Amino acid sequence: MHPIGEGETVLVEILFYFFATLLVAGALGVITARNPVFSALFLVFSFVNSAAIWLLMGAEFLAIVLVLVYVGAVMVLFLFVVMMLDINLAELRRGFARFAWLGWLTALALVAEITAVVWRHGLGALDAGRGFAGEPADYSNTLQLGKVLYTHYAYPFELAAVLLVIALVAAIALTLRHRPGLKTQDVGKQVGVRAADRLRIVKTSAEKRA
């Protein structure tokens, strides 16, 4: 990533509005699509567009990791599950009118919060073309992030990692069941098998050609 020059600001601005529009459209798609698979795909689309916007701001590491983790792993597993669900749409839709007010309330609260933040910092803080000031030409977002994460924020970072491992172990422990009478393969035995255990070579006398 090189710092954005004066001549490129217009192009960056156009790109920002392009990706932002797609992002909003994708986000709308997530909540309006009738098919849950389409909802999940719209979410993937939104992730990719927000990654593009981050890239425009020079946050290349965050942008790529967003795609790598959310698009590449989380959403794949999400789709995996959604595709296999046997969803009764009428059943899902039944409480829609009853709980709509809750949805509106949440949405309003979110909009109010975002407006408050924008109000405080002024619209100038959202100027997409500006990026972060004072980046040298060989600025590496990844390097800087790594340095900070493993020095200044090492303790919270490791704490978060431990928390994730605990969640992982807990999820496995909760779903691990031993059904009695279940037939499983003993992998050790399978790997350790020798040809002599399975195969018997029999010598026969050759037939005379008629």
CA atoms within 13 A on the CB side of 20: 11
Q: Nearest approach, Cβ of 60 to another protein (angstroms)?
A: 5
Using the rule CB under 8 A, is 89 a contact of another protein? no
Q: Print the SS3 string covering 3-63.
A: CCCHHHHHHHHHHHHHHHHHHHHHHHHHHHCCCHHHHHHHHHHHHHHHHHHHHHCCCHHHH
User: Binding pattern to another protein, positions 141-170, x when CB under 8 A?
Assistant: xx----------------------------
| Closer residue to another protein in complex, CB, 16/45 | 45
CA atoms of 25 and 23, how far apart (whole Å): 5
Using the rule CB under 8 A, is 52 a contact of another protein? no
**Contact stretch for another protein (CB under 8 A) within 106-114, 128-136, 140-148, 202-210:** 140-148
CA atoms of 15 and 86, how far apart (whole Å): 40
| Closer residue to another protein in complex, CB, 63/128 | 63
Tokens of 177: 């069941």
Binding site for another protein (CB under 8 A): 1, 37, 41, 44, 60-61, 64-65, 67-68, 71-73, 76-77, 79-80, 83-84, 140-142, 185, 187
